[in-house]
Amino acid sequence: MSRTLTPRSSRASASRQHLACLGALLVFGCSAAKSGDDPDVEGGVSFAPDTRPGAKDAVAADAQTEVPVGTEDVTEVVLDTGAPELPPVDVPCAVDGTPCNDGDACTAGDRCALGACAGVPLACDDKLICTTDVCTEGQCESALVDGYCLIAGVCYPANTTNPLNTCERCDPPVSGAAWSANTGSCIAPGACGSAVGTCVQGQCVVPGGAVCPDDGNPCTTATCTGGICGQALTPGPCDDLNACTTGDTCSNGVCVGAPTVVCPDDGNPCTDATCTGGGCATVPKVGACEDGNPCTVGDVCSGLVCVGGAGKKDSDADEEVDVACGGTDCADSSNAIGTSKAELCADSLDNDCDGATDKADDDCGSKLGKPCVYQGDCHPEGVCATRLGTGATVCNTRCGKATDCAATEMCTRLPGATSLGFCEPSPPGASAAGAACQNHGQCKTGLCFDGACRTTCFDESGCSATEDCAWFYTAQGTFVTFCLSPAASGLKANGQACTADNVSYGGDFCASGLCDLAPSSPSLWRCTPVCGSEKDCAANQECHLMAYAPETATDAVPYHAQFTEVVHDGVSGCYTSSGGGGILSDGLPCQPDAYFNCKSNKCMAIDPDSNDTFCTSLCNTDADCVAGMKCKIVPLTLVSEYLVSDVGAQDPALAAYSYFQLCTYP
């Protein structure tokens, strides 16, 4: 490879109450005589008890003495009346009506009558059907009748069950005064429900404790917790009673089975194949269906037939019928595209179906893709250039590297420009970078150089980490810039000293083809990168023209009708500026002869409506410029501080130009 121009110098949770009834006859000041009783009563007392030695006092029959019950023993009542003692038993009755003593302790109110002493027999009835009542020596005695129990004052026939406990019964042979233990089954009530148990020693015993009702769910178990019935989830296998499932298993209280019978579809969109009782059956389906016609909408089942709807298919719901169904929608997959749509100028879609996209569409006022004669015809979107495949001279998108263009496009150097290219279609069937070639049309990149397809670049961002962007001079007198591996080429990478044998310095030893020879000491001279913007360089460097092709770019398109000066291919590089970088930012006024006061080291007339000069910079996109400025293509003379200095390999050419991208005012 050769890039030589001319010789160069050098410089990168009940108890039962027991009742005992005792009838009491009060004596003092109280009369127990009934209406019609004997009026001849002394001291207001209707009778007096016998006082036979050894006998106990008794109560007159009309006193209705109440005898307490509840035991088989004789119950007695002794009354102390306070009356004078009766005469002895052996005293004869001389006067009728006088008190006497008949010697019978079971009588009361003894009096003389017809010379004899007689009293009224005592009444000993306790009113209970299960007792026999008699008076013995003045005492009322009650004997329990066979076949009865007298419990708590109540008579119960033998074998009567305790109403409060089914495990107890009246059993006279065992006890006539208390309940005896019963045998057999019983019902045990409880807070969690009632259960059948067995009587044991008078208690109802239920095996396993309280019982709660089963809810019939195979996946739950009835439980009693804290006296409250509940259902606990039961894991494991179950039966969902569906013959069409198998492997039924409890899941969160529900028996779930997996379908085992898969019923084949009969192909009718208006029927459903189902499994019933373990066998397959076909049932009618209602509702929407698909009749198989892609151009009908609203198809519905009628009986067992799918009837097509009257509407036309609109796949993307953009209110335009699909092209395949006789409609006008040119893109049935996107509701943003159709003949009734307006072109959107920044969505990369041909919204109105007219064949042009975004700014290339006349509706967006774009000039891209349109024929041009001058560079001015394509401002501000692109540049005017002749396409390799068609030979048509049209407005094209500007590019600084291959990724600035579409996948099917290549970035081609703009003739007569410095670090600037344009996007155009890649040659069909062409080879990728690295393949052998004989001409540009054989490469997807549109660049064949030294027998190989190359990747075009205009600064380091267009190449991989192991490559540098390099420039070369062609035999046709034009420049080419492409990615080159320093290691593979045997040349020095950016940042390495551009020397050989510590003697000769120059870009020919660098892969980039450029060497920053501006520092005053040769020990600081380094291989330097190709650049398209000041941002590509170090703080103390300037990005500007470092070399240009001597020959005029004959296929370059003129700038505009009033500016038709010849232009040359050029290459910009990073070199150390003499002032080390000024303090003025882009957009600020400056003096051309004090350009070094600008951070960019450039002071130019960049306002179309004024000749005033401002600090400005080379750029690749609008993002490289300060607010208010735009990155535009402009022609600049072949002059730079590098070329003006004594380290440039070429002389500045004030009367010759090259197209650059520069930050300017709109």
Number of domains present in the structure of the chain: 2
Amino acid 62: pLDDT: 37
Mean pLDDT over 573-595 rounds to 85
Model confidence at 72, in pLDDT bands (50, 70, 90)?
very low
Phi, psi values for residue 461, rounded to 5°: -65, -15
Amino acid 226: pLDDT: 59
Q: Considering the domain boundaries, does residue 218 fall inside one? A: no
Q: Considering the domain boundaries, does residue 623 fall inside one? A: yes
Contact predicate 148/130, CB 8 Å: yes
In this predicted model, what pLDDT tens digit does every residue of 424-456 receive, in sequence order? 999 988 999 999 999 998 999 999 999 999 999
Closest CA to 188 of 220, 168, 210, 208: 210
Cα–Cα distance, 278 to 280 (Å, whole number): 7
Q: Considering the domain boundaries, does residue 641 fall inside one? A: yes
Higher-confidence residue: 364 or 146? 146
Q: Considering the domain boundaries, does residue 605 fall inside one? A: yes
Locate tokens 């050029």: which residue? 570
Contact predicate 581/539, CB 8 Å: yes
In this predicted model, what pLDDT tens digit does every residue of 149-203 receive, in sequence order? 999 989 999 999 998 888 999 999 989 899 999 988 887 766 676 677 789 888 8
**DSSP 3-state of 596:** helix
Least confident stretch, 16-30, 132-146, 350-364, 500-514: 16-30
Domain boundary among 131, 160, 181: 181
Q: Percentage helix, strand, coil, to 5, in the chain?
A: 10, 35, 60
Contact predicate 588/595, CB 8 Å: no
For residue 380, cis peptide bond before it (omega within 30 degrees of 0): yes
Cα–Cα distance, 378 to 363 (Å, whole number): 16
Cα–Cα distance, 153 to 151 (Å, whole number): 5
Cα–Cα distance, 291 to 268 (Å, whole number): 9
Contact predicate 472/4, CB 8 Å: no
**DSSP 3-state of 61:** helix
Higher-confidence residue: 194 or 570? 570
Domain boundary among 139, 163, 181: 181
Mean pLDDT over 357-372 rounds to 75
Locate tokens 């005898």: which residue? 67
Amino acid 5: pLDDT: 55
Contact predicate 180/206, CB 8 Å: no
Amino acid 613: pLDDT: 93
Amino acid 52: pLDDT: 31
The two three-digit tokens of residue 412, written as one number: 């081609």
The full DSSP string for 397-448 is EEESBGGGS-TTEEEEEPTTBBS-EEEEEPPTTPBPTTSB-SSGGGBTTS-E
Cα–Cα distance, 249 to 239 (Å, whole number): 8
In this predicted model, what pLDDT tens digit does every residue of 526-547 receive, in sequence order? 999 999 998 899 888 899 999 9
Domain boundary among 164, 181, 198: 181
Chain-centroid distance, C-alpha 487: 53
Task: Inform me whether the pLDDT recorded for 299 exceeds 50.
Answer: yes
Residues written for the chain: 666
Parent domain of 154:
148-181
Locate tokens 């024929």: which residue? 371
Cα–Cα distance, 84 to 638 (Å, whole number): 168
Contact predicate 100/86, CB 8 Å: yes
Element housing 487 (H / E):
helix 486-489
Who contacts 82 (Cβ-Cβ below 8 Å, separation ≥6)?
27, 28, 43
Question: CA-CA distances (angstroms) from residue 326 to 77, 307, 321, 338?
Answer: 125, 20, 7, 14
DSSP 176: E
Amino acid 345: pLDDT: 67
In this predicted model, what pLDDT tens digit does every residue of 215-240 receive, in sequence order? 889 999 888 775 677 888 888 899 88
Model confidence at 54, in pLDDT bands (50, 70, 90)?
very low
Cα–Cα distance, 663 to 630 (Å, whole number): 5
In this predicted model, what pLDDT tens digit does every residue of 498-533 receive, in sequence order? 876 666 677 888 999 999 888 888 888 899 999 999
In this predicted model, what pLDDT tens digit does every residue of 366-398 receive, in sequence order? 788 889 999 988 877 789 999 987 889 999 999
Q: Is 601 left (phi over 0), alpha (psi -120 to 50) or beta?
A: left
Contact predicate 544/536, CB 8 Å: no
Q: Considering the domain boundaries, does residue 60 fall inside one? A: no
Cα–Cα distance, 642 to 459 (Å, whole number): 18
Higher-confidence residue: 7 or 463? 463
Q: Considering the domain boundaries, does residue 199 fall inside one? A: no
pTM as predicted: 0.48
Burial 352-383 (b: 16+ CB within 10 A, else e): bbeebbbbbbeebebbbbeebebbbbbbebbb
Q: Considering the domain boundaries, does residue 251 fall inside one? A: no
Q: Considering the domain boundaries, does residue 352 fall inside one? A: no
DSSP 625: S
